[in-house]
Amino acid sequence: MIFLIEYDRRKGELITLKRFRDSDRLKAQNKRLEIELDLNHKGINHEVVLLEAAKEAMIRRTHRRYFETPRQIAKSVKAGK
């Protein structure tokens, strides 16, 4: 599965999470480009990334900063999760 993420780094906020089947890779790439061009035109500085994983839970674990606040991450690391 392919995940398209738009993230506002300044606010630490997930803006968009879209899912695409692996067979829709070109569609996902085109959507990413469309979002990046629109953001650039508007002067908005967001991260736009495509990530691949078998399940959403995997990217939530490996790319936690998109889904959790720094405080939540620190708390779970301290708790050994």
**How many CA atoms within 13 Å lie on the side-chain side of 47?**
16
Percentage, residues of the chain above pLDDT 90:
80
Please enumerate in sequence order all residues whose Cβ is within 8 A of that of 57, keeping only pairs 6 or more positions apart, or say none. Answer: none
Strand partners, 8: 13
pLDDT at 3 over 70: yes
Q: Read off the pLDDT of residues 27-52 as tens digits, 9 standing for 90 and up.
A: 999 999 999 999 999 999 999 999 99
Alpha helices in the chain (DSSP H): 25-42, 56-62, 70-78
Domain boundaries, the chain: 2-78
